[in-house]
Amino acid sequence: MEAGPAGPLTEGAVHPGCVYLVGAGPGSAKLLTLRALEVLQSCDVILYDRLAQEVIGLAKPTAEVRYVGKETNVPTAEMKVHQDSISSQLAALAKQGKSVCRLKGGDPMIFGRAGEEMEELVAAEVPYEVVPAVTACLAAGADARVPLTYRNCATSLRVQTMNPSTIKDEKFDWSQFAAPSATFALYMGLSVVESVTQKMMAAGVSAETPMALVDRASLPEMQVVAGTVATLAAAVKDRKDLPGPALILMGEVVGMRDRLAGSLPPPSSSQPALALIRSTLPALGDDELRQLQQQAGDLLAARAKRKLEQAGYTA
């Protein structure tokens, strides 16, 4: 919970004139936190990202919903203009007395540009709250059966972004990936696997270091492609069935996944509504599927609301 110019925000309530920086989690609506759901179902306006589309249907019916997602591989200058616009909208809407939810994929504080928005809100004297979430590397580790830390094998977890700015940075230290007893979670790496692995090996990273790419973690379409620093790029090259978002796990602990895999639960236990509908009623058209998805989302929202009320939360 965060304090703003108007004082601490009271947990369990959504206030007019306040902004909520909310993490939507890695994808599955079932990994949304109770606090995130409470805010989502209470705010007047919601600005959401491309990676938060699985949960936007849980917003209250009267909310104004704005899509402000950014495209991938956009030049840094263009990205900054887009981000500045989002930050300005948050402050302006709150100044109008509205409760505002900024819904982001993953956790807002990990590569979610929450920092820029926090700076804007402080400058505008707008109170805000940060609602943390399950970040992508946690879901990827769970789905891939890779414990991100493991005694005597992986004693630290390092989170990195492999966006274009990182790849082009001549001062970036690629030798850090040779650190022992470490697990690396590489965000936004799907389109640059070959370049990244080449730079690693050129910096002295062992070609045999285990690596795994996890595509669409937490969703029923999730896939894991395992290999090493030397082989992963070829294993994922030209794969049309890996649309992303994807995350790469790297380190000796990744090599343990085969013996830790065990038996998997039925996929339907974590399927979002649309995927479940599509698998059971494949003959329906897109419009009909969307209508059923909305109905399923309404049922999920009603069920979640009852759970919140039973737990003592009120909107």
Structure tokens at 31: 């990994």
Q: Distance between CA 124 and CA 90 in Å, rounded?
A: 10
Whole-angstrom Cα distance, residue 158 to residue 176? 10
- Catalytic site residue from 44, 49, 107, 143: 49
Q: Are 156 and 182 in contact (CB under 8 A)?
A: yes
Residues 277 and 198: their CA atoms lie apart, in Å, by 42
Residue appearing with tokens 């039925």: 266
Give the integer Cα–Cα distance in Å for 295 and 286. Answer: 14
Angle separating helix axes 76-95 and 114-123, nearest 10 degrees: 40
Task: Decide: 249 and 195 in contact? Cβ < 8 Å.
Answer: no
Q: How many CB atoms lie within 10 A of CB 312?
A: 7
Catalytic residue among 60, 70, 98, 199: 70
- Residues paired with residue 248 on neighbouring β-strands, in sequence order: 186, 213
Neighbouring C-beta atoms of residue 109, cutoff 10 Å: 17
The DSSP bridge pattern shows strands 100-104 and 45-48 to be parallel
Distance of alpha carbon 60 from alpha carbon 40, whole angstroms: 7
Is residue 258 annotated as a catalytic residue, yes or no? no
- DSSP H stretches of helix in the chain: 34-40, 76-95, 114-123, 136-144, 164-168, 193-202, 232-236, 257-260, 273-280, 286-310
Burial label, 71 (beta-carbon count in 10 A; 0-12, 13-18, 19+): exposed
Q: Is 168 a catalytic residue?
A: no
Catalytic residues: 49, 70
